[in-house]
Amino acid sequence: MPNHIAVAWSGGADSTALLLLLLEKGYHVQAWHVDHGWHDESRQNAELLAEQAKAWNIDFHVMALQKPKNNFEAEARRGRYMCFERISQKVDCLDLCLAHHADDQAETVYMRLLQGAGVAGCGGMRAQRKHGKLNIWRPLLGVSRSDIELFLQKRGVKWLQDPSNQDISLWRNKIRCKVFPKIEEAGVNPHVLFLRWQKVATKVQQKIEHGAQEIDVCVNLGNNPRVSVLDWQRWSTQSAPVRAFLLQKMIGLLFADGRVFGRRHILAIEQWREHGGNGWLNLSKCCLYRKGPDLQLCQGKLSLRDSSSKRMNIEVENE
């Protein structure tokens, strides 16, 4: 990681330990705090963190959000990253550390399995990735929550307890407080179990990406509508997982909002391919078709008429 870096600091044990660890290792760190307004003490906690940062000689930046009315976890995450991007622009720092640890990773894999994710999703959180212009780092993914708390206890450092961590209406809290303890009662360590699955999923995904690396997916920016393109013959002769990976890459390049194909879309595309890829396939807000030697995906729905070919026109909406 670069020497000049920010830490997303909630005041909890995880982010407090990460902040102090980087400071001890000689990093030039600053702390970014987002006040979600989830509870009455949130503003007071932000003030306490500002005082602590000053005592540690750490630059402290805070932004406040309004409490979301519904879909708390997703809205809070979107708002948090919006604040991080604004702070980043203000202080001219593009590298941000998050304090997700091994226990968080196991919970994430479990949630994604419940959501029906494939091996890419079950690979869990990455140690480094891009979010817009931000470089996101997660250096604690191999460290357990208990070791993080021990790190702070040995230094006599206290941390804030977030009341929302006990709110079991939130998915992650329900898993942490209800589901994982039940798994442990059955004699299975859920963290070991799902971290093992995460490692297996990561290896499988690496094999898929290796199989797809020689097939180029490009975007023709001059087209209206915008079009992503790859070689039909090379795509159609790959294994099903590689084909699905390349399709996700096509739609990812086409839309800026992180859109992906769902299972229904992939199954419909596979059926269309087995029939020779004739005509076109209208999917959710995009259209897949062959043009010469290419497989093309464009934004919007089209009606492509070719009297010389057998047409297979299927519309698949979002689930």
Residues 216 and 137: their CA atoms lie apart, in Å, by 28
Report pLDDT digits (tens) over 77-114. 888 999 999 999 999 999 999 999 999 999 999 999 99
Report the C-alpha dihedral over residues 171, 8, 1, 257, rounded to 10 degrees: 60
Residues 229 and 296: their CA atoms lie apart, in Å, by 5
Smallest Cα–Cα separation from 317: which of 241, 265, 272? Answer: 265
Residues 268, 316 contacting (CB under 8 angstroms): yes
pLDDT computed for residue 221 by the predictor: 67
What backbone torsions phi and psi does residue 314 show, to the nearest 5 degrees?
Answer: -125, 135
Q: Which H or E element spans position 98? A: none
Structure tokens at 59: 């630059």
Report pLDDT digits (tens) over 177-195. 999 999 999 999 999 999 9
Pairing of strands 280-283, 286-291: antiparallel
What backbone torsions phi and psi does residue 302 show, to the nearest 5 degrees?
Answer: -125, 165
Residues 78 and 187: their CA atoms lie apart, in Å, by 37
Residues 164 and 176: their CA atoms lie apart, in Å, by 13
pLDDT band, very low/low/confident/very high, at 310 (cuts 50, 70, 90): very low
Q: Which DSSP string corresponds to 264-307?
A: HHHHHHHHHHHTTS-SEEEETTEEEEEETTEEEEEES------T
Report pLDDT digits (tens) over 208-220. 999 999 899 998 8
Residues 206 and 258: their CA atoms lie apart, in Å, by 20
Half-sphere exposure of 294 toward its Cβ, with a 13 Å CA cutoff?
Answer: 15
Residues 196, 102 contacting (CB under 8 angstroms): no
R_g over Cα of the chain: 23
Q: Domain extents for the chain?
A: 4-171, 218-315
Residues 78 and 92: their CA atoms lie apart, in Å, by 21
Q: What angle do CA 125, 129, 135 make, to 5 degrees?
A: 130
Whether 311 has a pLDDT exceeding 70, the answer reads no
What backbone torsions phi and psi does residue 129 show, to the nearest 5 degrees?
Answer: -160, 175
pLDDT band, very low/low/confident/very high, at 307 (cuts 50, 70, 90): very low
For the packed helices 240-254 and 190-212, what is the interaxial angle rounded to 10 degrees?
A: 80
The CATH number assigned to the domain with range 4-171 reads 3.40.50.620
Residues 64, 76 contacting (CB under 8 angstroms): no
| Cis peptide bond N-terminal to 225, omega within 30 | yes
Structure tokens at 305: 């008429």
Report the C-alpha dihedral over residues 214, 220, 225, 230, rounded to 10 degrees: -20
pLDDT band, very low/low/confident/very high, at 10 (cuts 50, 70, 90): very high
Give the C-alpha distances (Å, rounded to integers) separating 164 from 15, 64, 83, 161, 197.
16, 17, 20, 9, 28
Report pLDDT digits (tens) over 144-157. 999 999 999 999 99
